[in-house]
């Protein structure tokens, strides 16, 4: 939906409202966020663990409905909070880790080693050693990594090394991850030679993007690889299809209108973004529904659905959703620290930096509209009312530190002391790029355990003693 900027200019400013979320609105209306902003004296994130539980349950139900034996591993890189790994431990779900630090965190919050899959390229000696000791499953990315893992297993006292072999996808031949046909053949040979020092449990991939059919096609290919490996005498009874289950942030009409209308004049400093660099903020098929679609798809050239193939071949399906398990599971709160005028819009400066909401790795920005919460409460927009466009700057001395380059059409003039609440930020936005630049403290995370009239909160981690 485009709204006319009657406040100060005649151009239109596109808006991208997030899907309505009554739980988040209740928190926004409770008055608690202003208290927390005062207490922390800086930005913070709030987390909704019941959403994580519901997303996990939806993935599991989808597997059950399809009659497929499967396991869900939370891709920990998507958010560092302890509460998610605690939820995984409670629900006996798995965790996908990609560093020794992430592995220690998962173990420390009660996830058993056998429920951990270790992904990522060129894993360090330390990470492989720890994975071996804890009985984790290692998704091997390259031959030299396989050699290191096998050496550790053959020379140490702990065995076997549990592993998957990661496939370089033919649909993404320029990916820096995974092994090609020849490398996989060599890897299988080395696994065979390693005897009982190794348990070759199957194959894996992770695809960029969110398309479902390529995932079904590649999963089918991995099942064939498993069948070949079984003929060689290897276990090969599971495949991992990685993550990449889309999150649906906004309604289709809002998103398509936004894409059609957005132009440099709508952004501070005429900044131009390429539409293809934006995350697809609307997805008709998202989260567990994407898994349902993948399972119901017939892989290219086949006659059976992926679910049927998994069942018929006795192959277990592993998945590693990050963003999708965190859908709707948190928001980010900044306080307005300054407001200045520019021709036709304002620059609002908040008490944190864009590194706490970042899309900059992707040459992009986080688009769902922030909500304006004044000390008197949430400000509601009405269709034909005046709007007050403002971009949102970070509290650093960098020209490029814009939390939002877009001139967001706020329903009221933002004032110092108001809060800007960015919705649905738990998946990657909160902390993947966070930095204590300028000695600014990292935003704390607050867990909302119980909603009700007066939400109950606690810190995700206790402050150090
Ligand atoms: C191997 C692997 N698994 C899982 C994920 C999680 O992806 P997403 O958060 O899109 O589900 C990633 C993301 O980079 C990955 O590389």
**What is the full DSSP assignment across 282-305?**
--SS-HHHHHHHHHHSPPTT-SS-
Least confident residue range of 142-146, 263-267, 359-363: 359-363
pLDDT score of 453: 76
Any ligand 1 atom below 6 A from CB of 206: yes
- Per-residue pLDDT for 198 more than 50? yes
Any ligand 1 atom below 6 A from CB of 324: yes
Domain ranges of the chain: 2-48+330-459, 49-248+283-326
- Per-residue pLDDT for 6 more than 80? no
Ligand 1 atom at minimum distance from 166 CA: 1
Atom 10 (ligand 1) nearest CA: 244
CA of 134 to the centre of ligand 1 (A): 22
Atom 3 (ligand 1) nearest CA: 242
Q: Specify the CATH number of the domain 49-248+283-326.
A: 3.20.20.10
CB 405 within 8 A of CB 267: yes
pLDDT in tens, 35-74: 999 999 999 999 999 999 999 999 999 999 999 999 999 9
Ligand 1 atom at minimum distance from 139 CA: 1
Could you tell me the pLDDT band of residue 384, with boundaries at 50, 70 and 90?
confident
Average pLDDT of the segment spanning 213-237: 98
Atom 7 (ligand 1) nearest CA: 243
Please tell me whether residue 346 adopts helix, strand or coil conformation.
strand
pLDDT score of 464: 63
Bridge partners, residue 458, by sequence: 447
Could you tell me the pLDDT band of residue 361, with boundaries at 50, 70 and 90?
low
Ligand 1 atom at minimum distance from 78 CA: 9
**Cβ-Cβ contacts under 8 Å for 182 (sequence gap 6 or more):** none
pLDDT score of 219: 98
CA of 300 to the centre of ligand 1 (A): 24
pLDDT score of 213: 98
Any ligand 1 atom below 6 A from CB of 75: yes
pLDDT score of 399: 94
Pocket test residue of 93, 242, 246, 318 for ligand 1, highest count of atoms within 8 A of CB = 242
pLDDT score of 121: 96
DSSP 8-state assignment for residue 348: E
Share of the chain above pLDDT 70, in %: 96
CA of 442 to the centre of ligand 1 (A): 24
**Top-confidence residue, 383 or 286:** 286
Any ligand 1 atom below 6 A from CB of 368: no
Ligand 1 atom at minimum distance from 210 CA: 10
pLDDT score of 12: 65
What is the C-alpha to C-alpha distance for residues 331 and 166, in angstroms, rounded to an integer? Answer: 34
Pocket test residue of 72, 145, 179, 206 for ligand 1, highest count of atoms within 8 A of CB = 206
- Per-residue pLDDT for 22 more than 80? yes
Query: What are the tokens at 238?
Result: 């599971």
pLDDT score of 13: 82
* Mode of pairing for the β-strands spanning 70-75 and 345-350: unpaired
Any ligand 1 atom below 6 A from CB of 321: yes
- Per-residue pLDDT for 433 more than 70? yes
CA of 182 to the centre of ligand 1 (A): 25
- Say how many C-beta atoms besides its own lie within 10 A of residue 372's C-beta: 25
Atom 4 (ligand 1) nearest CA: 243
Any ligand 1 atom below 6 A from CB of 244: yes
- Per-residue pLDDT for 134 more than 70? yes
Any ligand 1 atom below 6 A from CB of 242: yes
CA of 96 to the centre of ligand 1 (A): 9
Pocket test residue of 75, 211, 222, 287 for ligand 1, highest count of atoms within 8 A of CB = 75
Pocket test residue of 72, 168, 243, 321 for ligand 1, highest count of atoms within 8 A of CB = 243
* Exposure class string for 314-340: b at 16+ Cβ within 10 A, else e: ebbbbbbbbbbbbbbbbbbbbbbeebe
pLDDT score of 156: 85
Ligand 1 atom at minimum distance from 323 CA: 9
Average pLDDT of the segment spanning 155-180: 95
Could you tell me the pLDDT band of residue 458, with boundaries at 50, 70 and 90?
very high
CB 330 within 8 A of CB 426: yes
Any ligand 1 atom below 6 A from CB of 76: no
What is the C-alpha to C-alpha distance for residues 372 and 28, in angstroms, rounded to an integer? Answer: 10
Could you tell me the pLDDT band of residue 7, with boundaries at 50, 70 and 90?
very low
What is the C-alpha to C-alpha distance for residues 58 and 423, in angstroms, rounded to an integer? Answer: 21
Q: Cα Rg for the chain, rounded, in angstroms?
A: 24
- Distance, CA of 140 to chain centre: 22
- Say how many C-beta atoms besides its own lie within 10 A of residue 18's C-beta: 22
Q: Which residue is it, tokens 């960029």?
A: 208
Tell me whether the CATH fold assigned to 2-48+330-459 matches the one assigned to 49-248+283-326. no
pLDDT in tens, 289-340: 999 999 999 999 999 999 999 999 999 999 999 999 999 999 999 999 999 9
Question: Domain 2-48+330-459 falls in which CATH fold?
Answer: Lyase, Ornithine Decarboxylase; Chain A, domain 1 (2.40.37)
- Per-residue pLDDT for 4 more than 50? no
CA of 41 to the centre of ligand 1 (A): 33
Atom 5 (ligand 1) nearest CA: 243
What is the C-alpha to C-alpha distance for residues 53 and 447, in angstroms, rounded to an integer? Answer: 14
Q: What are the start-end ranges of the H helices in 48-124? A: 49-65, 82-90, 100-108
Share of the chain above pLDDT 90, in %: 91
Could you tell me the pLDDT band of residue 2, with boundaries at 50, 70 and 90?
very low
Average pLDDT of the segment spanning 66-90: 98
What is the C-alpha to C-alpha distance for residues 445 and 403, in angstroms, rounded to an integer? Answer: 18
Ligand 1 atom at minimum distance from 204 CA: 1
**Cβ-Cβ contacts under 8 Å for 60 (sequence gap 6 or more):** 70, 72
Could you tell me the pLDDT band of residue 5, with boundaries at 50, 70 and 90?
very low
Provide the mean pLDDT of the chain: 94
Average pLDDT of the segment spanning 173-198: 97
Q: Which residue is it, tokens 């696994």?
A: 191
- Per-residue pLDDT for 358 more than 90? no
CB 43 within 8 A of CB 332: yes
What is the C-alpha to C-alpha distance for residues 316 and 371, in angstroms, rounded to an integer? Answer: 43
CA of 347 to the centre of ligand 1 (A): 35
Ligand 1 atom at minimum distance from 321 CA: 11
Average pLDDT of the segment spanning 119-146: 97
Any ligand 1 atom below 6 A from CB of 245: yes
């Amino acid at each position: 939906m485009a709204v006319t900027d009657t406040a100060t200019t005649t151009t239109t400013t596109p808006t991208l409202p997030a899907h309505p979320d009554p739980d988040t609105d209740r928190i926004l209306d409770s008055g608690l966020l202003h208290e927390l902003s005062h207490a922390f004296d800086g930005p913070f994130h709030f987390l909704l663990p019941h959403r994580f539980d519901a997303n996990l349950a939806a993935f599991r139900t989808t597997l059950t409905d399809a009659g497929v034996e499967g396991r869900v591993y939370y891709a920990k890189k998507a958010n560092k909070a302890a509460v998610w790994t605690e939820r995984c431990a409670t629900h006996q779900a798995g965790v996908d880790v990609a560093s020794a630090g992430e592995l220690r965190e998962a173990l420390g919050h009660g996830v058993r080693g056998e429920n951990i899959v270790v992904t990522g390229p060129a894993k360090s000696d330390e990470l492989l050693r720890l994975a071996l000791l804890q009985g984790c499953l290692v998704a091997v990315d390259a031959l030299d990594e396989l050699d290191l893992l096998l050496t550790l297993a053959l020379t140490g006292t702990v065995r076997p090394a549990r592993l998957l072999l990661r496939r370089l996808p033919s649909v993404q031949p320029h990916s820096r991850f995974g092994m090609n046909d020849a490398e996989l053949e060599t890897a299988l040979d080395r696994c065979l030679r390693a005897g009982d020092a190794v348990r070759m449990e199957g194959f894996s991939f992770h695809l960029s993007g969110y398309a479902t059919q390529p995932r079904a096609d590649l999963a089918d290919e991995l099942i064939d690889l498993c069948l070949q490996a079984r003929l060689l005498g290897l276990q090969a009874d599971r495949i991992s299809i990685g993550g990449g289950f889309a999150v649906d942030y906004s309604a289709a009409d809002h998103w398509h209108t936004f894409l059609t209308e957005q132009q440099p004049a709508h952004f501070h400093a005429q900044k131009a973004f390429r539409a293809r660099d934006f995350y697809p903020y609307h997805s008709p098929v998202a989260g567990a529904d994407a898994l349902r679609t993948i399972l119901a798809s017939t892989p290219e050239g086949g006659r059976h659905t992926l679910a049927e193939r998994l069942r018929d071949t006795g192959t277990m399906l592993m998945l590693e959703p990050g963003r999708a398990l965190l859908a709707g599971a948190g928001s980010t709160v900044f306080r307005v620290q300054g407001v200045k005028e520019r021709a036709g819009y304002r620059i609002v400066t908040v008490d944190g930096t864009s590194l706490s909401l970042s899309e900059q790795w992707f040459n992009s920005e986080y688009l769902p509209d922030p909500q304006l919460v004044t000390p008197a409460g949430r400000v509601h927009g009405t269709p034909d009312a005046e709007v007050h466009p403002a971009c949102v700057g970070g509290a650093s001395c960098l020209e490029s530190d814009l939390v939002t380059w877009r001139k967001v059409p706020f329903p009221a003039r933002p004032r110092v002391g108001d809060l800007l609440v960015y919705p649905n930020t738990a998946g990657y936005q909160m902390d993947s790029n966070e930095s204590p630049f300028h000695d600014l403290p990292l935003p704390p995370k607050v867990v909302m355990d119980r909603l009700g009239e007066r939400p109950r909160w606690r810190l995700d981690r206790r402050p150090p003693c």
